[in-house]
Structure 1
Amino acid sequence: MKITDYEKVQALAASNIFLLDGPNGTKTIAADALAKALIGLLSSKDFIGGVNLSELTQVNALVSGNKLLVGTTEGNKAIAAEDALFAMLDSFAPVELRRVLFRGKNLGTALTAVQKAAIKDGSFKGMFLGDYWSIGGRIWRIVDMDYWYNCGDTAFTSHHLVIMPDEALYNAQMNTTNITTGGYVGSEMYKKNLANAKTIVNAAFQGSVLTHREHLCNAVANGKQSGGAWFDSSIELPSEIMMYGHIHFGNASDGNTIPNIYTSSKTQLALFMVCPRFITDRSHAQWLRDVVSSAYFALVSGFGDTGYGGASNSLGVRPVFPVG
């Protein structure tokens, strides 16, 4: 703007007049006329999806209630701000984002055909970390997505959710006596006591529980895991790493022995990283599959701390499994 133009604008302002650009060039308009025009625009039913001045008090009430007014084909709808955010994210969010954004929404009383299709195609549309199904009086929660993807001696290439119940399904022993012979695979838990969990899980997610390849401990020497092999795996006890993100009492390097942790489940499940309050349910100590000594297996304490216990103790069985 040239100095002479600037002086003209100052003169207009002093006279309470505005300079507006329009399709037919620049026009001057009195400030009160502009104000009336703006008020008329605000009062229009076509302004901001149908909000006019008489509705502003209603809008204020929505804001104080943490709700948004959204225009739809059926008219304006008031929805929770959180729901609006997740609805927007659901249109484009990749699995990498979905598995770290906790929502905690009830997804129904059964895995639907639409939900199963969204898992299979890898979009996971309509699902976020912490969402759950309420089936058979239990909460079955999404704890991760594509956790085992491309893992195993045979690559697991099925898109999948990782599900766990919020609470242990029942109590059972790892072994009838305080021994860890044969590791997890050699235990009574693996051979017999998981059978009831498999029945419960397969009833809740009929035809949707997947099988992948997992490396599991099958030998113990001097109180330490000493051997392992690849097994078909569907419904298992979780490990310390899956719950806590690292080993507490299982095999670790002592400077002389290089340990094998016997698992492809090598990272913490996303839910327990984002929301560690879900690690324990306070009502049960829960068995983990890691060998601690010749007599003890690892566990999650009912008080929320890490722990271990004699294999003959009857503790919570809280399985983990892939669904797709």
Structure 2
Amino acid sequence: MKALRKQEVSIQAAGEFKVGDQIEIGKYTATCQKVTKKGALFLLDQYLDEPFKMNRENTNEGGYEASDLRTELQKNSVLAIFESVRNMMVPFKNGDLLRIPYAEEFFGDVDGYESSGKKQWPLMTDRKNRIAIREGEAYEWGWLQNKLEFSSAFFAYVNDDGSTDYYDASNSFGVRPVFRLG
């Protein structure tokens, strides 16, 4: 990702973030993808150290909202990574502090996936910004929130080449959390 400017979060007022700003979150970096009235949306530039299954069982019933991955992201063990910005984090509409991206935020309009109504983030028009790694690993696949419309088991993911595809919910893929600072 291109960094327009590195930010020191402890002294940065949330309203001053701009798309492309990067901040440090522990050993990770995160880039501002969008600024709204509710705050600045950030996406980790790397996958978390551990890959996760969307669901232990091979199902997409209930979508991301009912997924095992959503439950994992709200646990203290994951939220502890974000301790340096925790006091600035603004919950999403469902009360979560972390989520994963929607396919539309990475790719714009996509056919075959449950629609979220979201728009593509400006930095994601560049394919290289959709690609990520886990520390010490090669480029890999990462989960997106959208479930496949014509399947009871598949969710969308980002390929290691920055394109989109879908796979069984019970497989383990990378996770790049999204969070909002306000």
* TM-score normalised by length of structure 2: 0.84
Q: CA deviation at 1:208?
A: 0.6
- Alignment of 1:198 with 2:79, yes or no, is yes
- Alignment of 1:267 with 2:116, yes or no, is no
Structure-1 separation of matches of 2:3 and 2:47: 22
* Root-mean-square deviation over aligned CA pairs: 2.0
Larger proportion of helix: 1
Q: CA deviation at 1:291?
A: 0.8
4+ long deviations beyond 3 Å? none
Q: CA deviation at 1:276?
A: 3.5
Q: Which residue of 2 aligns with 1:280?
A: 131
SS at match of 1:288: strand
Structure-1 separation of matches of 2:51 and 2:142: 8
Structure possessing the higher relative contact order (Cα contacts under 8 Å, 6 or more residues apart): 2
Distance 1:307 1:197, change over 3 A: farther
Whether the 8 Å contact between 1:144 and 1:269 is mirrored in structure 2 is yes
Whether the 8 Å contact between 2:23 and 2:29 is mirrored in structure 1 is yes
- Counterpart code for 1:300: V
Q: CA deviation at 1:204?
A: 3.1
Number of residue pairs the alignment of both structures matches: 172
1:41-52 paired onto structure 2 within 5 Å: none
Select which of 29, 49, 70 maps to 1:139: 29
Q: CA deviation at 1:249?
A: 3.2
Question: In the TM superposition, what whole-angstrom CA distance separates every residue of 1:235-293 from its partner, at most 9, and x where no partner exists?
Answer: 11111111111124313xxxxxxxxx3x4x621122213x4421112522110111112
Instruction: Name the larger-Rg structure.
Output: 1
Structure-2 separation of matches of 1:135 and 1:289: 22
Q: Which residue of 1 aligns with 2:136?
A: none
1:21-36 paired onto structure 2 within 5 Å: none
Question: In the TM superposition, what whole-angstrom CA distance separates every residue of 1:47-99 from its partner, at most 9, and x where no partner exists?
Answer: xxxxxxxxxxxxxxxxxxxxxxxxxxxxxxxxxxxxxxxxxxxxxxxxxxxxx
Q: Which residue of 2 aligns with 1:161?
A: 40
Structure-1 separation of matches of 2:128 and 2:120: 14
- Counterpart code for 1:244: F
- Counterpart code for 1:180: N
SS at match of 2:69: helix
Structure-2 separation of matches of 1:267 and 1:306: 16
Select which of 292, 295, 299 maps to 2:153: 295
Q: Which structure 1 residue ranges, 5 or more long, are not aligned?
A: 1-101, 150-157, 214-230, 252-260
Q: Which residue of 2 aligns with 1:310?
A: 168
SS at match of 2:30: strand
Question: In the TM superposition, what whole-angstrom CA distance separates every residue of 1:301-324 from its partner, at most 9, and x where no partner exists?
Answer: 112221111111110111111101
Whether the 8 Å contact between 1:212 and 1:232 is mirrored in structure 2 is yes
Structure-2 separation of matches of 1:194 and 1:168: 16
Q: CA deviation at 1:234?
A: 2.8
Distance 1:164 1:308, change over 3 A: same
* TM-score normalised by length of structure 1: 0.49
- Counterpart code for 1:240: A
- Counterpart code for 1:309: Y
Q: Which residue of 1 aligns with 2:178?
A: 320
